[in-house]
Structure 1
């Protein structure tokens, strides 16, 4: 399967194909004729796929692997000087290429390095987690975290290409599959009721996997359309943040250790929809339907944190602009809208 993200001179292709990792050199060779490639990855992904990708690229390029520890803590502003130094020692120039080989953390980190190193160099995304394949590898958002919050330093820097091999999902621990399903379910909630119903029809992820190429394609296609219409995240693209206002605060409160991103998004989607129902902004029983699908894929729906604690972090959220908060709510399953409000929306809520 193939699609094009049409952003004029910043357009790029996305390929979805089982076994694609065995053809990385051929695909990259179609868009890059330089001399050097730096692969940024983490210790877990490098163990499984680093040599596979490196050996292919070494046929035509000088290649180095920059390995980071796995986990959100590697997406810190503090790691950047040492990372830039590795690239300088390799004599990487503006005409060379970075390959992001990993999940969402590596994609965000490597993308931000590509956006800022020597004022910007090209990069290719090879996402290896379900979450990265259906969401974070597409759209050009790259960032690192500050102690005060997630993704507070970032840029819009689109890849030259995205290469998605669903076979890599077979090596993921079950929790990381569930993590990705949080974002898959989000797409059904905000833009595609038939996708939501399809997800509800499977017994579990193993049942779903027979249609995984199609599921990934449908999620990316939704994001592609949204990104093409709103590249810089000020209008329709905001609906992609459904559940994220609460999710980012939950992740940060637990120092990215208790809940993964997809798990936190699941909690955010359910809790916000339940609250919107109580406010009469979302139809009755919508939250129950979301909860049933989340639980089918072993995702949490509550974290039992005090709302007053979360409010302090929401104040720093990028969507909290001029003390006005843009929450993403559902008119119906498959139809989201931006609801302008402020922190008072959460008044009366004790815990989520």
Structure 2
């Protein structure tokens, strides 16, 4: 078993990574349950993993309840949040209880936010079942729901007590979901780790096809990278954690234009956003055109969007920039962008002119 700790003082928590961990989760949840019933929140797409988890808990003499929500980004809404909180209260969840988030990023974000506000804060555990959630959203304590104004606009920082990652659950994940999750894997190489980007170039095909060794290495490396960044800047106040948003400003605008639907998955939008961030950087001479082309070529090679055209979005630059104006990272009317001086050399730029971004986007082929 691999263990990565998110070092946050008295709120430090472990991330455990091991194949088959889902069925053995009771070994690690038992001390947290303290003899009380556990409440598991999941969605319709994850019922098979729910059964395995509950069987393992039952075999260890632990009782559990399950709340099953509709799948998809649409569940990150006020209505579903309110319904979830009502169900948790009806089940008698108390502050010291641990709610289990079993699912992808949607479930993790939603359940984490519900835990943050229920009775002014109760505890929760992340058991991510998608590659994207395992390498990104389950770690770091960002929780949120979406609104018509944009993605993750209402939320809270609320760290889990424990993260259990079982790479074996990815064997049942649709290929498109694996590719989308891979976008958040390669992102760590693009941010500040050129050697890892090179590893990705050589191993992405195997990782996506199901190579267990490649998946375990990628997950462990990504989680360790994120844990290091979160420990240095938990609430995104000194600019370090902002580096994790590479590709997200462009990507969230594309997601919003797609209606936060399966038309464009989050990881697909991030991939397109990373390619655009490098292309924009090259346009201004910050990085070489060769680097920008190399990033786009790698994304395209694994079946991810390498720009606006590949997402199927036909919005104008003005339309996409209008969506960016609602970005929660904006401060004092300035929207920071993650740009690059090269692969593995991402930096935060607070001087970007949105009119120039609009023109850049209008130059992109549709």
TM-score (norm 1): 0.96
CA distances 1:159-191 after superposition (whole Å, capped 9, x unpaired): 010000000000000000010011111111002
Choose from 268, 281, 287 the match for 1:276: 281
2:338 equivalent in structure 1:
328
CA distances 1:230-275 after superposition (whole Å, capped 9, x unpaired): 0001211000000000111111111122110010001111012111
Distance in 1 of aligned mates of 2:56 and 2:26: 5
2:234 equivalent in structure 1:
231
2:355 equivalent in structure 1:
344
1:294-305, aligned counterparts within 5 Å? 294-304=299-309, 305=315
Point out 4+ residue stretches in structure 1 off by more than 6 angstroms.
none
How many residues are matched?
351
Q: CA deviation at 1:345?
A: 3.7
Q: Which range moves more in the overlay, 287-296 or 10-19?
A: 287-296
> Would you say the 8 A contact 2:4–2:223 is kept in 1?
no
SS at match of 1:321: coil
Structure 1's unaligned 5+ residue stretches are: none
Distance in 1 of aligned mates of 2:55 and 2:92: 20
Distance in 2 of aligned mates of 1:34 and 1:84: 22
Q: CA deviation at 1:306?
A: 1.5
Choose from 199, 220, 225 the match for 1:222: 225
> Would you say the 8 A contact 2:233–2:241 is kept in 1?
yes
Structure 2's unaligned 5+ residue stretches are: 310-314
Q: Structure 1 residues 244 and 284 mapped into 2: Cα distance closer, same or farther (>3 Å)?
A: same
2:110 equivalent in structure 1:
109
1:249-328, aligned counterparts within 5 Å? 249-257=253-261, 258-304=263-309, 305-328=315-338
Distance in 1 of aligned mates of 2:281 and 2:342: 11
2:312 equivalent in structure 1:
none
Q: Structure 1 residues 60 and 157 mapped into 2: Cα distance closer, same or farther (>3 Å)?
A: farther
Q: Structure 1 residues 122 and 206 mapped into 2: Cα distance closer, same or farther (>3 Å)?
A: same
Q: Structure 1 residues 224 and 92 mapped into 2: Cα distance closer, same or farther (>3 Å)?
A: same
Distance in 1 of aligned mates of 2:109 and 2:54: 20
Distance in 2 of aligned mates of 1:302 and 1:101: 32
1:1-352, aligned counterparts within 5 Å? 1-46=2-47, 48-58=48-58, 59-202=60-203, 204=205, 205-206=208-209, 209-234=212-237, 235-257=239-261, 258-304=263-309, 305-341=315-351, 342-349=353-360, 350=362, 352=364
Q: CA deviation at 1:44?
A: 0.7
> Would you say the 8 A contact 1:306–1:351 is kept in 2?
no
